[in-house]
Structure 1
Amino acid sequence: MPKLGMDMDQGTIVEWLVDEGDEVESGQVVAEIESEKTTGEIKVREDGVLRAILLDTGDSVEPGGDVAVVGGPDEDISDLVSGAGGEATAEPEAAAEASADDNSSPAEASLDGPSAVSESGSGGGASAESVKATPRAKKRAEELDVDLTTVEGTGPQGSVSEEDVEAAAEGGEGAAAGSVKATPRAKKRAEELGVDLAGVKGTGPQGAVSEEDVEAAAETAAEPAAEPDAESAAETGGEGRVFAPPRVRRLARELGVDLETVEGSGPSGAITEADVRAVGNGEAADAEAATETADDTGTRDEERPLSGMRRTIANRLGQSDREAVHVTEHRGADAEEMLAAADAANDALGVKVSVNDVLLLALSAALDEHPAFNATFEEDVHRLHRTQDICLAIDIDEGLIAPVVRNVGELSLVELAEKRRAMTEKALSGDYTMEDLSGGTFTVSNLGVLGVESFDPVINPPQVAILGVNTIKKEVVPVGDDEVGVRKRISFDLSFDHRIVDGADAARFLNSLVEHVENPWPLVIGANGR
């Protein structure tokens, strides 16, 4: 598992793009991964065969942990399989360098041959040391109290797999099923399709049954008279492999585009988003017509397992809710001058300046005056930061991310506008990296663009506070003695950790922010001189 960023704790397999026993080529993407709030790919650097998959889809491991083994078709990999697994004993720095050397985006890493796969040494107890078994098999054997020396291995080089252990524990029919040499995905697919593995001829390494063997057997059972399609069979022989990053594959799924029909225009023939959209636009009319004729299913029962990114978001928000003492204060402000300042700067500076940029100037000034909020709290230390590295919460398809605009307090308005726009575009295009998401000192979450009028934002740990920005709307307000008028107003929600700062501190912070929002001209003029 590559290390995709300094803050990475674990990586999760999103999808295997090849199966055990498949031939792989140098540069081929074999798996998609997720870690924290970014996605990546694992590529091989040498031609060979994917001899063993050590992590199933949805499984996670720390950086440096073993994921798979690539080697020659007849190469002895028993030591690698028996010693490999979840322990992160490989050099994380080396994995990070492998990722950094690759220019693909958002992140990629490479999977070399057997010598490059980390050997994590012995696992389990003394009885396990003399048996060739995967770490997960050893762990499962401990849980089920199964003696590994009595289990017949069906994995590569006769190693004991987790399925072998479970079959031995179940006994009877389970043991009989476990005696069939088959990949984990093949066994799972056989259960789904009701296929008896004992009647399936394996075409994988050492005659192991692959997922394709199971599906072929199921099709044969369903259509016994069907003749094999020689042309389609030839297409599965290793030619025409698809090279596309995760975001391109997601787009293809959304548009219903078969990547095998798309000609890639990227480096080494890789498929780009533009390639997929070009094909998808041509098929859009047919897809729309098909949708119109489909039955209206209405609501439905559905299970959606959390993705790696969604799990990370859930864990971090849970941590924030459990550990921080959340208090939220709300405050309104007149937005007329802020809007006018943004329009004036946009006209005068020759770059697109938005209200968000002027708001960031006001926020920066408030943080200067109340530095306790530009801070983090870790290991019982309230650390005030000199630089203002402000996270901007952005909603993307995979979930909520918060890329960082760094050193806001030292930027001119032009630099701030350009930096903020560039970071937003990177986030929306999926080109962000873990470095873009790390090291923030304060977070802004703007739901005003969605019409939200008030909410309680959750602190982004280990930060001390987060500012919620609500929609700008017209309100009837007092404008003089016994007079009222219509003004554009904005409101803010400041959530803070009451362990670190008090309610009065938060009130003073909001008061400063409102003052700068209602009179932003000195800030705009001063920022232009930086």
Structure 2
Amino acid sequence: MVTDLVVPKLNNNDTSYVLLDWLAEDGEQVRAGEPIAEVETSKAAEELLSDGDGVLHRLVEVNRECAPGDVIGHVFDSEEARQRFLAAAVAPPVVPLPDVSPGGPVLTDSARELAAAHGLGDDELRGLGRSVVRRTDVERLLADRSAAPAATTEPVVVAAAAALAAGDGPEPDDPRPVHALSRAQRAVAAVVTESHREVPAALAVIKVRADAALTVARDLTRATRTLVGLPELLVKAIGGLREDHPLLFASPGDGSSVRLAEAAHVGVTIDVGTGLFIPVVRDVEELTCAEIAETLMHFRSRAGGEGFRAGELAGGTIVVSLHTDPDVVLAGPIVFPGQTCVVAIGGTQDELALDTDGRVVTRRFVNLSAVYDHRVVNGREAVAFLQAVKAALESPDRLAEE
């Protein structure tokens, strides 16, 4: 008996991953549930576990691409069974290479197969401007080629239109330097594209007095010795509104229904200069502000160091997008596929106002925006949700007590 080691679908953003490392040797005895390989997605590194006890046989080398559903290894009942497999193995079919001359780009296996299937040659592959061409690069090249306009009697106009349609950087003889987007940024591009294509989003914005919340945050910081700020209070406030505003935490269904969340799992944007991550604070209803603050501090540390596991980035029911630089007045982020709402907080602003005695005083406020899936949520519901968040932040004592 043999058990296949199959690459699972780790997130919705990627069509392929990279095999980072084998955690067990060829012919080594492994046990069910043990990590035996590590793959890299665009956002995280994830361990793959053995589904059974037995002897490992590796099929894919380290640093090769692998896609969800690929079999990258076998686990045999015994070494004898593995040796029988090796003795009976036949050489894999030879995949004809595209016409790539010496000095041309290096192709990954999956990119080579796709290029060969579509007859792509050296000139087109070199035009990508990459030293290493991956399958996603070939897919984009094929999409750009199919989208190019037909020839007309106006070649200059056609060339300009093709360049605009491609939107994929300079031509091969363009002297401008080529900047390759990182794997993480390409994943961001895929999510943004899907969101704009699939989600009819709408925007609502509300102004929130921040003085009381900032005071409570300072008091909590002193009392708990944990850095608490407006983001932590906002996450807490949103988590407490799931039961009263369930559609803002829902997942779109088949167009006639949605799935309601059973808990408030709040994704929070984290960007410390190593890329954008959205790890999830789970079961926010059950956490104190100090616990939320500790979790977010841990996330920031992970983002700047060892990174995240795929499971830490999945399962969110709503997102808080942090744009807290003082110069940011308003933000309107995308709604992430599979969710119905993202709440953005801008930087704190000062304004002059009159107190009850007619004196001029300075007050602090922030703008909160909700971008929502208009197929599921209407403007009235979105504004009511924002008003509930506003009420919680402007009277924050309850947030501090819970």
TM-score by length of 1: 0.49
3-state SS of the aligned residue for 1:388? Answer: coil
Amino acid of the residue matched to residue 250 of structure 2?
A: A
Deviation at 1:481, TM superposition (A): 7.0
Deviation at 1:55, TM superposition (A): 7.9
3-state SS of the aligned residue for 1:466? Answer: strand
1:421 paired with 2:333, answer no
1:509 paired with 2:348, answer no
1:129-180 per-residue CA deviation (whole Å, 9 max, x = no partner) reads x98534xx16x69xx9xxxxxxxxxxxxxxxx969x97xx999xx9xxxxxx
3-state SS of the aligned residue for 2:387? Answer: helix
| 2:93 corresponds to | 133
Q: 1:12 aligns with which of 8, 17, 37?
A: 17
Deviation at 1:524, TM superposition (A): 1.3
Amino acid of the residue matched to residue 35 of structure 1?
A: T
Counterparts of 2:267 and 2:311 in 1: how far apart (Å)? 12
Deviation at 1:399, TM superposition (A): 2.6
Asked whether the 8 Å contact 1:393–1:400 carries over to 2, the reply is yes
Asked whether the 8 Å contact 2:200–2:374 carries over to 1, the reply is yes
Q: State the identity %.
A: 22
Asked whether the 8 Å contact 2:267–2:319 carries over to 1, the reply is yes
Counterparts of 1:492 and 1:408 in 2: how far apart (Å)? 19
Counterparts of 1:432 and 1:507 in 2: how far apart (Å)? 34
Deviation at 1:365, TM superposition (A): 2.9
Counterparts of 1:133 and 1:449 in 2: how far apart (Å)? 56
Deviation at 1:507, TM superposition (A): 0.8
| 1:180 corresponds to | none
| 1:314 corresponds to | 189
Deviation at 1:349, TM superposition (A): 3.1
| 1:444 corresponds to | 320
Distance 1:305-1:481 versus aligned 2 partners, 3 A rule: same
| 2:171 corresponds to | none
Amino acid of the residue matched to residue 333 of structure 2?
A: P
3-state SS of the aligned residue for 2:276? Answer: strand
Asked whether the 8 Å contact 1:404–1:439 carries over to 2, the reply is yes
| Larger-Rg structure | 1
Counterparts of 1:506 and 1:523 in 2: how far apart (Å)? 21
Deviation at 1:6, TM superposition (A): 4.2
1:362 paired with 2:237, answer yes
Asked whether the 8 Å contact 1:10–1:36 carries over to 2, the reply is no
Counterparts of 1:498 and 1:330 in 2: how far apart (Å)? 15
1:275-297 per-residue CA deviation (whole Å, 9 max, x = no partner) reads xxxxxxxxxxxxxxxxxxxxxxx
| 1:488 corresponds to | 364
Deviation at 1:392, TM superposition (A): 0.6
1:406 paired with 2:366, answer no
Deviation at 1:386, TM superposition (A): 2.1
Asked whether the 8 Å contact 1:34–1:308 carries over to 2, the reply is no
Counterparts of 1:326 and 1:523 in 2: how far apart (Å)? 30
Asked whether the 8 Å contact 2:274–2:304 carries over to 1, the reply is no
Counterparts of 2:63 and 2:240 in 1: how far apart (Å)? 49
Aligned residues: 305
Counterparts of 1:324 and 1:432 in 2: how far apart (Å)? 27
1:331 paired with 2:206, answer yes
Amino acid of the residue matched to residue 473 of structure 1?
A: Q
Counterparts of 2:112 and 2:264 in 1: how far apart (Å)? 49
| 1:38 corresponds to | 44
3-state SS of the aligned residue for 1:522? Answer: helix
Amino acid of the residue matched to residue 192 of structure 2?
A: L
Counterparts of 1:501 and 1:466 in 2: how far apart (Å)? 12
Deviation at 1:39, TM superposition (A): 3.6
Amino acid of the residue matched to residue 353 of structure 1?
A: V
Amino acid of the residue matched to residue 348 of structure 2?
A: I
| 1:71 corresponds to | none
Larger mean Cα displacement after TM superposition, 340-349 or 313-322 = 340-349
Counterparts of 1:65 and 1:306 in 2: how far apart (Å)? 28
Counterparts of 1:384 and 1:32 in 2: how far apart (Å)? 33
Counterparts of 1:348 and 1:393 in 2: how far apart (Å)? 26
Distance 1:439-1:345 versus aligned 2 partners, 3 A rule: same
1:61 paired with 2:67, answer yes
Distance 1:41-1:307 versus aligned 2 partners, 3 A rule: farther
Asked whether the 8 Å contact 1:10–1:62 carries over to 2, the reply is yes
3-state SS of the aligned residue for 1:306? Answer: coil
Asked whether the 8 Å contact 2:335–2:371 carries over to 1, the reply is yes
Deviation at 1:430, TM superposition (A): 2.9
Q: 2:346 aligns with which of 427, 445, 470?
A: 470
> Which protein has greater RCO, CA pairs closer than 8 Å, 6+ apart?
2
Asked whether the 8 Å contact 2:39–2:45 carries over to 1, the reply is yes
| 2:162 corresponds to | none
Distance 1:431-1:320 versus aligned 2 partners, 3 A rule: same
Greater share of residues in helix: 1
Q: 2:270 aligns with which of 394, 398, 406?
A: 394
Deviation at 1:343, TM superposition (A): 1.3
Counterparts of 2:375 and 2:224 in 1: how far apart (Å)? 43
Deviation at 1:33, TM superposition (A): 5.5
3-state SS of the aligned residue for 1:500? Answer: coil
| 2:153 corresponds to | none
1:377-427 per-residue CA deviation (whole Å, 9 max, x = no partner) reads 143341111211000111154531100000001112332222232233223
TM-score by length of 2: 0.63
Stretches of structure 2 lacking an aligned partner (at least 5 in a row): 29-36, 49-57, 76-81, 100-110, 123-130, 133-174
3-state SS of the aligned residue for 1:302? Answer: coil
Asked whether the 8 Å contact 1:5–1:434 carries over to 2, the reply is no
Distance 1:5-1:521 versus aligned 2 partners, 3 A rule: farther
Asked whether the 8 Å contact 2:220–2:290 carries over to 1, the reply is no
